[in-house]
Amino acid sequence: MTHGQLDDRRILITGAAGGQGVAVARRFGAEGASLALSDLPGPALDAQVDVLRAAGIRATAVPADVRDEREVTAAVRDAVSFLGGLDVLYNNAGVYWPDRDAPVDRLDRHVFDEIIAINTTGVFLFAKHALPHLLASSDGVLLNVASVAAYAGDPDCHAYAASKGALISLTRSIAQRYGEFGLRAIVICPGFIATPMVDWLLQDDEAAGRVANATALRRIGQPSEVAAVATFLASTAASFVTSTEVVVHGGLVK
């Protein structure tokens, strides 16, 4: 019988129906975790659960709009009921709207509020309602997904940068407040990763080339590479890693 890095770990993943969420869910499941997947309700989320189950992975869907606290509360409740507890929350849900986001002098207030509601408030709500269950685990882990923009900024998408920058302070604060109870809280900061979120970039060979050449490794990252890092951080092997940012950007030079 083979053993995985996440054997017996009970994990709730948000933003699980696409992009990095898909890669992380499949890697977590392959490493032995039981999964509750959350995203907006629909065929994409259902299909992801079906794929995992077909691979012999214990998984269920707990749909929710991260902006709605009632839906978040229900999703966490249903996840805990299915999993029998919760060891890891992987807060991955988020949006990047380069066609609507803008520098502050041109940024519409409604767009700013929507991006903050999804990328920051949604993370807060899931963390808030998952926290009691994570604290009941022998090694509870909160993994919040931000971006290199969280610390480097984004010259064109100021709402996105603000929404992700807030996650560093929030995560460090959670780690410091609840660390004495065994909770670990970490921010993962990916760089440019080949997901549908950056299709606009990948479809422009010149722009994609500029981004690739701005990294030390001279390429754009793959979702599987973020998933590999997340797997380690979610595992008990990372038991002394907390209150920090883990950057996965291929040596991006801003």
Q: What is the pLDDT of residues 46-89, one digit of tens each?
A: 999 999 999 999 999 999 999 999 999 999 999 999 999 999 99
Could you give the dihedral angle defined by the CA atoms of residues 21, 27, 31 and 36, in that order, rounded to the nearest 10 degrees? 20
**Which pLDDT belongs to residue 214?**
80
pLDDT at position 208 is 67
Q: Which of 90, 96, 151, 160 is catalytic?
A: 160
Distance CA 178, CA 16 (A): 26
- Judged by phi (left if over 0) then psi (alpha if -120 to 50, else beta), residue 5 lies in alpha
- Reduced to 3 states (helix: H, G, I; strand: E, B; else coil), residue 103 is coil
Burial, 28: exposed, middle or buried (Cβ in 10 Å; 0-12, 13-18, 19+)?
buried
Identify any residues that bridge with 34 across adjacent strands, giving them in sequence order. Answer: 10
90, β-bridge pairs: 13, 143
Secondary element (H or E) of residue 10: strand 10-14
Q: What is the DSSP string of 66-97?
A: TT-HHHHHHHHHHHHHHHTS-SEEEE------
pLDDT digits (tens, 9 = 90+) for 185-212: 999 999 888 777 676 666 777 766 777 7
Residue 109: CA count within 13 A, CB half-sphere: 0
When pLDDT is cut at 50, 70 and 90, the band that residue 1 belongs to is: very low
User: Which residues share a beta bridge with 35?
Assistant: 11, 59
Q: Which of 87, 216, 106 is nearest to 156 (CA)?
A: 106
Known active-site residue 160: yes
Q: Find the helix or strand (DSSP H, E) in which 189 lies.
A: strand 184-190
Helix (H, G, I), strand (E, B) or coil at 26: helix
Q: Which fold has domain 10-248?
A: Rossmann fold (3.40.50)
Q: Rounded to 5, what percent of the chain is helix, strand, coil? A: 50, 15, 35
> Where do the structural domains in the chain lie, given as residue ranges?
10-248
